[in-house]
Structures are given as C-alpha cells and as structure tokens.
Amino acid sequence: MEGPKDLKEVVLEIAKKAKSASKTLTSLSSGVKNEVLKRVAQKIRENREELKKVNEKDVNQALLQGHTKAFIDRLTLSDKVIEAMAKGLEEVAQLPDPVGEVVKMWKRPNGLMVGRMRIPLGVIAIIYESRPNVTIDAAGLCFKSGNAVILRGGKEALNSNLALADLFRQTLKEFNLPEDAVQVIPTPDRTAMEYMLELEEYIDLVIPRGGEGLIRFVTEKARMPVIKHYKGVCHVYVDEEANLEMAKTIAINAKCQRPGVCNAMETLLVHEKIAPKFLPDLAEEYKKYGVELRGCPETLKLIPWAKPATEEDWYAEYLDLILAVKVVKDIDEAIEHISKYGSNHTEAIVTENYSKAMKFIKEVDASLVLVNASTRFNDGGELGLGAEIGISTTKIHAYGPMGLEELTTTKFIAFGNGQIRT
C-alpha cells in the first residue's frame, strides 16, 4: 500500500461523509439546531480542564519548535478563550435561522407562483491557522446554517482541534444526528489539503483564513469557489467640508483602537484645503498614541517629524501603529487613490457635504463604504449580522462580513396547478 494513495482515500471519505451528513442538516428544525449548540457549549465548559490538558501538548510542542510569543498566545486555550467559545455558541443559538426563509415570491402570468427559498450551501471547508477556537466558532456557524463543515486548522493545533470537534461530534451523536456534520482533517500533511481542494463534487465552498500565502495557495488549488480576503488596506478620506472634531475622533479610532486587525485604517487621505489646519493638530494626537507617520511631500511640510512615504507605503497593510498620510486635491483624487491602492475592504469619508457623501458611497468599491464613521465597524457583530465567519472581499454572493445568511444560497421554488410550457 502506498502512503499518499491512502491519504487521498481518507480525505475523499471525509468529504463523502460530510456530503451525506449535509443532507440531514438541510431540513433540521431550528429548535433542534439550537439545542445542539447549547449542549456543545455546556460540554465545552464541563470539559475545560481536559481541553486545557490536550492544548498544553500542542503548546509545549510549539514552544519546542521555537514559535513566537504571539503565535503561542493564539494557540493557547485559556479559560477566557474557552468561555468565549461556549458563549459564542449560545449567541449563535439565539440568532435567527436563515434556512427555509422565502426571500421573495411572485406570480407569473400563467399563474405559477415562483419564489426563492434560502437553503444551506451544503459542505463548507474552513482552512485556518493556529487559533483552535476557530474550530468551534466555524462549526457553530456552519451547523446553525445547515451546512456540514470540514475543518483544517494549523498543524500545531491539531490535538486541540480534534478534541474540540470531538465534543461537537459527541453531542450530535447524543441527538441522533450524523456526527460527520463536523469533521477535522486528522493529519497535518499539507497534501491532504490539496486533495481536499480537488473535491468540488462534495465540497461547495472553501473559506481560507490566515496569511496571504495560505490564501493564495488555496485559491490556486481549489476547484470550488473560494471566499477570502487577502488584506485590508483601509482608508479614511477627510473632506474639506468635514467636521474636523469628528474627523479627528474617527481618524484616531480607525488607527489606534486596535491597529492589528484588517479593518483598521492604514492610509489617511486629507483634502488640501483643510490639511494645514487639520494635520498638525491630529499629528499631536497620534504622537500620544505612539503612531509613526509616513507622509507625502505635502504632509511632510505640515508634520516635520513624519517620515517620507514610498510607493510601497500606499499599498501597505501595516497592522501596526504606523499610518501613511496623503494630501489630495479633491474627492476625485481620493477615490482614484483608493481604487488604485485599496483592497476593496473598508473605506470611509468624513464630510458634511451631502453630494460628496453620496458620491463616495456610490463610487467606492469596497465591501463596506462608510460616511462619518470609523472603518472599525466592518465586522459582522457591529453591522448587526450576529457572529461572523470572516470578511469576504471576493466579489461573489458574500461581499463583506459573512454571517449565517452568507453561508446559505437560495433555490427557486414554484407552486403550480398543472402549468406546462408551450
């Protein structure tokens, strides 16, 4: 027997079992789904010490391999992370179930009643890196939306992921439901992921979460649709007619409230007319937060301590207390800059001018476009979708934060009384 061939069969078996489980999930009542989610939450709390013990193995191994402190932090299942997972599931249980909703219904001239009904996608594969809590968060959202899930986490978290998924599977069994609705690829071998990405017959969607390298790899190999975002190069444009106090508050919040996330601002664009008044004042504020500024020549004249920005800075996703600053001559230049350097993630304008607000909303192509609010709102919870499984900048049905509804599609349904086509 050849090793690789076996692995291929193992992965195929997982995908087939997921597809089969997904058929039961499609017509599961919301009540049962919510009970399952609450029971998994309970089980996670009950098994806290065991989970920590298993996780310790992963952490010790990672320490031996010399991983960074940030990496170890993400890998660790602390009491806080464990409680957050349990609570997350309870929150998902509270959210409305999108499956079965009839989105629209209309009548055709021949009397046929035609509608669109929300249905699960089927089988979703989630590929992620070192955070084991994604195992539970993703499984909960997929399950509530009626989808089977195949989880492929970072190899360093494999023991933790298996233990977490096992609690979900035990619960499914208790409820007499197919445990294969939640499966973890049981090997760190990257080839397994490659095999999985070929199985478009069984897997309907892949969501990779992690570094750009991983996402590019998945996009290249996958035969099924991939929903992803590479990076968030988000801008705030402060217009000449902005309320400058508001602009300052938003600019500080967008950069400093949590600089390491994808919806933090990376470049600030300022109208040339208000730059001399606005920028020096704002720069003082940024100094207090320890933000390094990298400016265009105009900016440098106004903020002598800023560093000169290079072409690369306009493309940069710093994820850090660094900000690129550019003075623009008008809203058109701002929109052009965003179109060239932005990443279709989150873009904001600060202005009191109605026409410019509406122009920005219409013309800027990003998964969230805001007027007079911080870029930090691009988040399923903040926008009112409930929990999210990620933010998509793929221009497909889910563009922006993906909540439960974004894990479904619609089928057409038609009620007739004998209609035929002539």
Nearest to 207 by CA among 187, 222, 186: 222
H or E element in which residue 44 lies: helix 30-46
CB of 382 to a copy of itself, least distance (A): 7
CA–CA distance, 128 with 207 (Å, rounded to integer): 8
Residue 2 within binding range of a copy of itself, rule CB under 8 A: no
The residue among 22 and 76 lying less far from a copy of itself, judged by its C-beta, is 22
Which whole-number Å values give the CA distances from 280 to 10, 51, 60, 350, 399, in the listed order? 61, 51, 48, 18, 36
Roughly how many angstroms between the first and final C-alpha of the chain, as a whole number? 58
> In the set 34, 55, 171, 374, which binds a copy of itself (CB under 8 A)?
374
CB of 199 to a copy of itself, least distance (A): 12
CB of 412 to a copy of itself, least distance (A): 4
The residue among 297 and 416 lying less far from a copy of itself, judged by its C-beta, is 416
DSSP state of 407: G
CB of 186 to a copy of itself, least distance (A): 26
Which whole-number Å values give the CA distances from 150 to 73, 119, 347, in the listed order? 24, 19, 33
The residue among 290 and 384 lying less far from a copy of itself, judged by its C-beta, is 384
Residue 422 within binding range of a copy of itself, rule CB under 8 A: yes
- Restricted to residues 87-146, the positions that interact with a copy of itself (CB under 8 A) are 100, 106, 108, 112, 114, 117, 119, 121-122
The residue among 138 and 368 lying less far from a copy of itself, judged by its C-beta, is 368
Residue 343 within binding range of a copy of itself, rule CB under 8 A: no
Q: Which amino acid is at 3?
A: G
Nearest to 254 by CA among 118, 345, 164, 385: 345
Q: Which amino acid is at 268?
A: L
Size of the site for a copy of itself (CB under 8 A): 70
Q: How many CB atoms lie within 10 A of CB 291?
A: 19
CA–CA distance, 177 with 100 (Å, rounded to integer): 19
CA–CA distance, 72 with 63 (Å, rounded to integer): 7
Residue 373 within binding range of a copy of itself, rule CB under 8 A: yes
- Restricted to residues 51-90, the positions that interact with a copy of itself (CB under 8 A) are none
The residue among 75 and 215 lying less far from a copy of itself, judged by its C-beta, is 215
> In the set 44, 150, 369, 404, which binds a copy of itself (CB under 8 A)?
369
> In the set 6, 23, 60, 190, which binds a copy of itself (CB under 8 A)?
23
375 and 263 in contact (C-beta within 8 Å)?
A: yes
Region binding a copy of itself by CB under 8 A among candidate stretches 57-65, 278-286, 303-311, 378-386: 378-386
> In the set 265, 376, 402, 403, which binds a copy of itself (CB under 8 A)?
376
CB of 90 to a copy of itself, least distance (A): 20
Residue 30 within binding range of a copy of itself, rule CB under 8 A: no
The residue among 82 and 370 lying less far from a copy of itself, judged by its C-beta, is 370
391: Cβ–Cβ under 8 A, 6 or more apart, which residues?
Answer: 229, 232, 262, 263, 345, 367, 378, 379, 400, 401, 402
Show the DSSP H helices in 274-330 as ranges. Answer: 275-289, 297-302, 311-315
CA–CA distance, 211 with 129 (Å, rounded to integer): 8
Which whole-number Å values give the CA distances from 400 to 323, 338, 391, in the listed order? 23, 17, 5
126: Cα separation from own chain's centroid: 11
CB of 300 to a copy of itself, least distance (A): 28
Region binding a copy of itself by CB under 8 A among candidate stretches 47-55, 67-75, 134-142, 365-373: 365-373
The residue among 283 and 350 lying less far from a copy of itself, judged by its C-beta, is 350
Radius of gyration of the chain (CA): 24
Nearest to 157 by CA among 46, 83, 21, 65: 65
Residues paired with residue 270 on neighbouring β-strands, in sequence order: 238, 327
Region binding a copy of itself by CB under 8 A among candidate stretches 165-173, 281-289, 298-306, 361-369: 361-369
> In the set 327, 368, 387, 389, which binds a copy of itself (CB under 8 A)?
368
CB of 354 to a copy of itself, least distance (A): 11
- Restricted to residues 285-314, the positions that interact with a copy of itself (CB under 8 A) are none
Binding site for a copy of itself (CB under 8 A): 23, 26-27, 100, 106, 108, 112, 114, 117, 119, 121-122, 200, 204-205, 219-220, 223, 225-226, 243, 246, 249-250, 253-254, 257, 339, 357, 361-363, 365-374, 376-378, 382-384, 394-401, 409-422
